[in-house]
Structure 1
Amino acid sequence: MKLPTKPLIFLAIPTAAFLTFIAQPILGKILTPRYGGSAGTWMTTSLFFQCALLLGYSCAFWLLRKPNARTHRIVIALALLAPLITIIPPLYFQNLSEIPAILFGLILSLGPMLILTTSIGILIQGWVARDEGTIPYYLYGVSNIGSAAALFAYPLWIEPHITLSTQVLAVRLLLGALGILAALLAWIYARKLNSSSPLAEKNSSAASSVSTETSAAPGVETPSEKIPRCTLASWVFLSFSTCTIMLAAIRLLSGEFGSSPFSWVLPLSVYLLSFTLTFTRWWPSWLTTVGLVALGGGLFGYAATKGFSNIELSKWPLTWLLVIVTAACLGGHSLLYQIRPARRFPLFYLVMAVGGALAGLCATVLFPQLLTRSYEFFAAAFVLWLVGFSQRMTGLSPVMRVAVCASLALPPAWMIHQRSLAERIPSTRITHVRNYYGTMSIADSLFRTSVSSDTTLHGVQMKGDDSRRPTTYYTHGSGLGIVLDGLQSTARPLRIGVIGLGAGTVAAYVRPQDEIVFWEINPLSEKIAREQFTFLKECPGRSEVRLQDGRLGLRNDPGHFDVLLVDAFSGDSIPPHLLTTNAIGEYIAKLPDGFLVVHISNRYFDLLPVLASGAQKAGWRIASVSATPGPASEENAHATPTLYAIIYPPSRKPALDSWAKRALQSEHVTYRLANADNIVPIEWTDERHAIIEALRK
């Protein structure tokens, strides 16, 4: 009986890609409460997936070099064993430090699964090519449809409606189904291999009649073809540049919207779907030229509206950013398809994976060390644009190509220069520094010093006699100031905990008898706070900065606190794992009779209902304090509008009411105080939380 292979192929390939990309956010939710949101967690996880993809492609390349029954048996064994030995959640090594524990846990728990899901698509393409005599490049596009489906489905449907344990169960079931499909396909094509001559014999006898599904590029050869080094370099360059542009766009969006699915779903989906569109015979050459023209327009528009400045990604900068990503991926991947090999497609995919892995390594390790700002986004797109146009100008001499490229480069380069001039502030020295977490900008003038990351201001300190005055979000007129001033109306010593360091401004409230503990995951923040600001240095009480995820650090602290401030911003929002009901419960356990103060000022998300859920579950009360500074005055020097949520035990309501009543008498601040006890809650737990639920309507 002849089994229909096409339906099995169109089930197996997108399922494998879907599982590869759905595993990443699921693992993020599992690992973050366990290890925290430190750079080590995310860098190790990211590098693991990049290396797993490269390893899967390498396995496919090796297995397709000499097709025989033995290689098919290896695939069948992998397909049947991987679902049985995959462990989700991954193993937890408590006795190891963070990075080795994560790495060993992921390798031992998910290694077989990812080798299967990343290699099976390439293997199936090899089997189909051997059976039909043509290379089915369209199947690579089919796999990316599965990847994009995972990216869209997770934040929009899976994350809001399905608990983490159910997600894990679904992955196990899908992996089992994929194992059966992969084993069945390997068996089918092994039978075909036994009943027909090998690929090498088939092509040696009929090389003149075998062709790819599209017309081959000039100079391509049969399976024994030699790939020129310049072609290999072009594969690496085009793969590296498009992947770099995509990753840099995600980093820029994360600086604006925080590390949420909204930051990566669009760039990564465009990147994947561009393969689906361009790796087919239906993509006309003229559309590649249109893509390159659009890329040039996007570069000029982005340079004119944002460039390398710290302004918000508002309507037009965001539009031009997405134009650049879309045009670069379509143009770059169509160029990549045009120089594909006639037969050696496993090598083609392997080299593409090398380019992508290099881009990932550069994005996570190299660029943060070498570049002080996100120059790689514009630079990679700019170089790709020039190389693409140079490739299209085949009829011109090398001198004319250089002249045309130089003339094309001048307008966006001039706009970048103009934006850099506009960013300069008279009598102010601006320094940019960068690490894995992002870019930090320090502006130092005669009167003040400020620090910001991307579009978020983290702290300002005045110079001279006002250097100990709390500023920006932390003034005496803010929700935090109301609570701390109220508690300090007595001489009783206070123990204050702060998740998120910034410039260390909260240390300005500390008296000699008080103690303050900061938790901060970015070592660069501590370096800046100690070297560029004096809040910590001049703190009269005991101060300590612990480089650790705040939730983990608080869990390991043996003492209790009078006030706990959650002020850890990733972009313009707080990481979700710090706001779940589980996290709120852990904070409250450290505050027997104290106050939990959460800074929730941001442009895109309404986090008050999320906090209300945690407060209600713990039996505590919650109030919101919105403070808007009045006209400029000494009291309002460098004060910014703020929104705080204050969670407190019912027994402390009289005290908070009296402090709020006193604050309302101020002539310098306009307040909106609201009891949020009866607000409709949005419940986030470590098992289920979705940032889409908190989007401002």
Structure 2
Amino acid sequence: MLRYALTIFTSAFLLFQVQPIIGRFILPWFGGGPSIWTSCMLFFQAALLGGYLYSHLLCAKLPVRSQAWVHLAFLAVSVLLLPIAPDETWKPLPDQSPLARILLVLIATVGGPYFVLASTGPLMQKWFSQTSPDRSPYRLYALSNIGSLLALLSYPFVIEPRFTLQQQSVSWTSLYVVFACFAAWCAAGLLKHDAVPIPEDDAARQATLESSMPQKPGWFGVFLWLILSACGSAMLLATTNQLCIDVATVPFLWILPLSLYLMTFIICFDRPQWYDRRAFGMLLMACGPLAGWAISSGPDLELAKQVVIFSAALFACCMAVHGELVHSRPDPRYLTLFYLVISAGGVLGGLFVAILATNLFTGYWEFQISLVACCVFALIAACRQRVWDVAPSSDFWTWTGGALATLIAAIAFLWMPHHESLDAIDEIALFGGFGSLIFLGLIAVGTRSERSVSAWTWCGSAALPIGWMVAWGSWRTPDVMTAGLGMQFAAISITAWGVARFVLWGLRRFSEPRQSGLIRVAIVMYAMILLALAHQQHVVTAAQAWTMLLVGLGSVLAEWVITKRRSPDRSSLGIWYWAPLLSLVAIMGYGFWDTLDSNSYGAVHRSRNFYGVLNVDYVPARDDDESPTPAKFRLEHGQIQHGFQYDDEDWKREPTTYYGRASGLGLAIETVRERKQTDQSIHVGVVGLGTGTIAAYGKANDDFRFYEINPAVQELSGRFFTYLQDSAARTNVCIGDARIVMERELRENQSQQFDVLAIDAFSSDAIPVHLLTTECAEIYRQHLAEDGILAIHISNRFLDLGPVVRGLADSLGWQSIRVSNDKDESSGVYSSTWVLLTQNAEVADQLQRNESFEAWEQDETILHWSDDYSGLWNLLSL
């Protein structure tokens, strides 16, 4: 057992440790967008499928000794392919598909070792089941998930901050050699086991076992394995996209969803009894509408709430689909087939998000589709096992009644009157902690549903969430949780629990069929209360609430009528179970569709490619007396405006949004012009094209050079916006990642000697980390004139980039000047913050004399980002 445990644990650790390592290597090469990680995950899932297929065919087609020798050969070849660090010759080429290039890089660097690691789990478990047929191999699967989770959690907190990428690569390579030795040890043990003759009694027993081989899984069962796995995989990648598009593509935001995904595997496979359909079904029904609300709120919702809500939805969905997977798992004889189908489903989910969604959709819609799909197929899997035939537990449902009453009291007394006065972190801790403790109590009661739940379990499960709410509220928000309000909330909650316990005592006086009927009536009543609350908070419309209510009541009535007309020996159809749930999912899906439809209002163009989502809206003229403005075309990248242009001859050549004449960029260009002779032109470089607004500053004989990674942006800048065509300056657009293009120019001795170099390459609010490192700052320095200005746009909803830009100035030995301007609706200028870096003391003094100058605080942090490390924790504005 030890050799198999060590091998599987080490392989799982390496398997998931290499993902962020190689992702960090190639992230700067392809623009730093969320699609890079999605592409990496597609490769990893495909390689995992290849490894599972190899192990399945190896075990199915070859005798035991041949399996060992073949795998030893693969181990030897994989060691020869080390190390894994990619050479810079693999950087992207012009006009090449970034997805294809990423896959080629990964195949050439980690393809061989990853393939062997991917095959290890199912292969070693199969070997273990052959050498120890009386022991279950499924615990080894849970052990592999623990190793994977440890690898993921250790990377952002231990590995990344302390080791350079090259050191990480060398360490991983060394540990891989250790893993190869462990795997060879297992193969040697298998050879010895196979060489031992089987006694006659054991041979007879083996023949008996083979004759009683369990029935092979049917096609529909295999299809459900495939589709449930695909739903979980798609939900993982869709959630990762949802988080990364507005912050940054960094390891932590890759690892958080992947860790939750793995946790569901660990829980479901190692402790199947912890998956309670009732509890996780209610969690999923709560998280679905919450996720819909978060999506409809858009960029106005705080980052902390987005992370919590989307992560909770991912956890609920994956628990549902993986829990149903475990309930339908086959006999260990079909172990490799089971894992092979699960892996194939993971690849299908990856293909859907990485390729199909990118090419078929014009927005980030895969999250909504994946969430609805998880609900639908988890419900189908549950119905296939006829879960409604199980008598409802009076302990569970009466406890649930007390919990829901307490939750309603918390919402009515605290959230509804005071949520606007609570900080996001306090609101999450207060209600998130309260809800988590209630849910854990629900699980505790659910795992004891077959026997009477003790009074201690009741009291503890009830007291913990109430105590948390009162204690945290009194400590952090005493102005909200006053002593009187705390006592009222505790009294109402304790009364609710007491009533629930009294109801339970009364229910036990009835027969089991009568108990079931009363419980179902109570569930309908609670559903009515929750629907009323949801309608009051505008979560659902009146029509949706009435629809769900009528479907629920109608399905119960239909089930009663059909049962009366059928013979007693025929089983229930379960209409009362699946019809209301299916209607809820349908209404949730309609809500998602309605949100998407409303977001497309006024759109004249919507497109999506590898680099993100682009929307062009036409905004009609505004004729109010205070600030009339002409009609305009507006560009949105993700959820953030990236410029607009007025559809008016008198206004169309004016710089707007974050690039107004009072902005830091406007100040930089004005300062450069003042220092030059009147007959001299200026040379301006811009990283990030957008609508081309900055070209409005161009005059005759000026040169404006734009670097843009997304070809679709260049197309839109000429199709709907005319800044480039209208500019008096010579304009040039270079397609490709700015850092790679500028490096190539330096190698060709083509330093641009910019007077101003503006860095504004944001996608939505996500930042391209590789453009803000000290290594990249050196590239900027070589492209700037001696008295040139490096202008970096740092306006951001979620991150304070000031410390990082000060770190760039510190690494270059330059001065940094922060400039902020206010919003001016009359001219279409938005408030913005720029930091201007220069090595020329006279230029710095001139910039600091401007009224928009903001001095740095003496104790403000200075952070030095590098290609090896870029941490976001100190920058987050939650």
Bin of the TM-score, shorter chain as denominator length: 0.7 to 0.9
Secondary structure of 1:536's aligned partner:
helix
Partner amino acid, structure 2, of 1:641: S
Query: Which of 579, 588, 603 matches 1:412?
Result: 588
Query: Which of 193, 207, 212 matches 1:205?
Result: 207
1:432 equivalent in structure 2? 606
1:582 equivalent in structure 2? 775
1:645 equivalent in structure 2? 835
Counterparts in 2 of 1:471 and 1:262: CA distance versus 1, 3 Å:
farther
Counterparts in 2 of 1:356 and 1:679: CA distance versus 1, 3 Å:
same
Q: How does 1:65-80 map to 2 (within 5 A)?
A: 65=60, 66-80=62-76
Partner amino acid, structure 1, of 2:243: L
The number of aligned residues is: 663
Q: Which segment drifts farther, 512-521 or 683-692?
A: 683-692
**In 1, Cα distance between equivalents of 2:272 and 2:26:** 42
**In 2, Cα distance between equivalents of 1:582 and 1:456:** 28
- Is residue 468 from structure 1 mapped to residue 658 from structure 2 by the alignment? no
Query: Which of 312, 320, 332 matches 2:321?
Result: 332
1:87 equivalent in structure 2? 83
Query: Which of 273, 282, 300 matches 2:263?
Result: 273
CA displacement at 1:366 relative to structure 2: 0.8
Partner amino acid, structure 1, of 2:778: G
Larger Rg, first or second structure (1 or 2):
2
**In 2, Cα distance between equivalents of 1:159 and 1:58:** 33
CA displacement at 1:260 relative to structure 2: 1.7
**In 2, Cα distance between equivalents of 1:318 and 1:613:** 28
**In 2, Cα distance between equivalents of 1:111 and 1:21:** 14
Partner amino acid, structure 2, of 1:449: F
1:295 equivalent in structure 2? 284
Per-residue CA distance 1:643-671 (angstroms, 9 max, x = gap): 2121111x3x323433442x41xxxxxx3
Q: Which segment drifts farther, 672-681 or 81-90?
A: 672-681
**In 2, Cα distance between equivalents of 1:420 and 1:68:** 55
**In 2, Cα distance between equivalents of 1:284 and 1:620:** 58
**In 2, Cα distance between equivalents of 1:314 and 1:656:** 35
Counterparts in 2 of 1:251 and 1:41: CA distance versus 1, 3 Å:
closer
2:797 equivalent in structure 1? 603
1:667 equivalent in structure 2? none
1:131 equivalent in structure 2? 131
2:447 equivalent in structure 1? none
- Is residue 674 from structure 1 mapped to residue 855 from structure 2 by the alignment? yes
- Is residue 443 from structure 1 mapped to residue 445 from structure 2 by the alignment? no
2:149 equivalent in structure 1? 148
Q: How does 1:279-358 map to 2 (within 5 A)?
A: 279-284=269-274, 287-307=276-296, 311-312=300-301, 314=303, 316-342=305-331, 343-358=333-348
1:213 equivalent in structure 2? none
**In 2, Cα distance between equivalents of 1:103 and 1:411:** 39
Counterparts in 2 of 1:323 and 1:30: CA distance versus 1, 3 Å:
closer
CA displacement at 1:479 relative to structure 2: 0.9
Q: Is the 8 A contact 1:288 1:330 kept in 2?
A: no
Q: Which segment drifts farther, 546-555 or 254-263?
A: 254-263
2:817 equivalent in structure 1? 623
Secondary structure of 1:235's aligned partner:
helix
Per-residue CA distance 1:228-265 (angstroms, 9 max, x = gap): 11112111100101111111111111112121223222
Q: How does 1:486-525 map to 2 (within 5 A)?
A: 486-489=671-674, 490-525=678-713
1:228 equivalent in structure 2? 218
**In 1, Cα distance between equivalents of 2:365 and 2:696:** 36
Counterparts in 2 of 1:123 and 1:544: CA distance versus 1, 3 Å:
same
Q: Which segment drifts farther, 677-686 or 371-380?
A: 677-686
Secondary structure of 2:270's aligned partner:
coil
CA displacement at 1:429 relative to structure 2: 4.0
**In 2, Cα distance between equivalents of 1:541 and 1:677:** 41
Q: Is the 8 A contact 2:774 2:808 kept in 1?
A: yes
Counterparts in 2 of 1:29 and 1:405: CA distance versus 1, 3 Å:
closer
Query: Which of 241, 260, 263 matches 2:231?
Result: 241
**In 1, Cα distance between equivalents of 2:582 and 2:186:** 52
Partner amino acid, structure 2, of 1:495: H
Q: Is the 8 A contact 2:243 2:253 kept in 1?
A: yes
CA displacement at 1:603 relative to structure 2: 2.6
Per-residue CA distance 1:73-108 (angstroms, 9 max, x = gap): 222333344334312313454699466765555334
Q: Is the 8 A contact 2:38 2:350 kept in 1?
A: no
**In 2, Cα distance between equivalents of 1:80 and 1:422:** 57
Secondary structure of 1:264's aligned partner:
helix
Counterparts in 2 of 1:401 and 1:624: CA distance versus 1, 3 Å:
same
Per-residue CA distance 1:531-586 (angstroms, 9 max, x = gap): 22222232222112222001011122313211111111144242221111110001
Partner amino acid, structure 2, of 1:139: L
CA displacement at 1:333 relative to structure 2: 0.3
**In 2, Cα distance between equivalents of 1:151 and 1:590:** 38
Counterparts in 2 of 1:414 and 1:234: CA distance versus 1, 3 Å:
closer
Counterparts in 2 of 1:201 and 1:509: CA distance versus 1, 3 Å:
farther
Q: Is the 8 A contact 2:228 2:377 kept in 1?
A: no
**In 1, Cα distance between equivalents of 2:609 and 2:58:** 40
**In 1, Cα distance between equivalents of 2:182 and 2:605:** 56
2:395 equivalent in structure 1? none
Counterparts in 2 of 1:402 and 1:537: CA distance versus 1, 3 Å:
farther
Secondary structure of 1:344's aligned partner:
helix
Unpaired runs of 5+ in structure 1? 211-220, 665-670
Unpaired runs of 5+ in structure 2? 390-571, 621-630
- Is residue 563 from structure 1 mapped to residue 756 from structure 2 by the alignment? yes
Q: Is the 8 A contact 1:622 1:676 kept in 2?
A: no
Per-residue CA distance 1:37-61 (angstroms, 9 max, x = gap): 4799667644432322121111111
CA displacement at 1:482 relative to structure 2: 0.5
Q: Is the 8 A contact 1:581 1:617 kept in 2?
A: yes
**In 1, Cα distance between equivalents of 2:185 and 2:75:** 9
**In 2, Cα distance between equivalents of 1:414 and 1:108:** 44
Per-residue CA distance 1:589-611 (angstroms, 9 max, x = gap): 11132111111111332333323
Q: Is the 8 A contact 2:238 2:370 kept in 1?
A: no
Query: Which of 479, 484, 503 matches 2:664?
Result: 479
**In 1, Cα distance between equivalents of 2:153 and 2:92:** 35
1:111 equivalent in structure 2? 111
Counterparts in 2 of 1:147 and 1:104: CA distance versus 1, 3 Å:
same
1:122 equivalent in structure 2? 122
CA displacement at 1:401 relative to structure 2: 6.8
Q: Is the 8 A contact 1:623 1:677 kept in 2?
A: no
Counterparts in 2 of 1:366 and 1:77: CA distance versus 1, 3 Å:
same
**In 1, Cα distance between equivalents of 2:832 and 2:33:** 26
Secondary structure of 1:645's aligned partner:
strand
**In 2, Cα distance between equivalents of 1:544 and 1:676:** 39
Secondary structure of 1:686's aligned partner:
coil
**In 1, Cα distance between equivalents of 2:613 and 2:4:** 45
Secondary structure of 1:256's aligned partner:
coil
Q: Percent identity?
A: 29
Counterparts in 2 of 1:513 and 1:253: CA distance versus 1, 3 Å:
same
Query: Which of 446, 450, 456 matches 2:640?
Result: 456
Secondary structure of 2:757's aligned partner:
strand
CA displacement at 1:353 relative to structure 2: 0.9
Secondary structure of 2:368's aligned partner:
helix
1:218 equivalent in structure 2? none
- Is residue 52 from structure 1 mapped to residue 42 from structure 2 by the alignment? no
**In 2, Cα distance between equivalents of 1:35 and 1:295:** 36
Query: Which of 245, 254, 258 matches 2:248?
Result: 258
1:360 equivalent in structure 2? 350
Counterparts in 2 of 1:175 and 1:484: CA distance versus 1, 3 Å:
same
Partner amino acid, structure 2, of 1:581: T
2:558 equivalent in structure 1? none
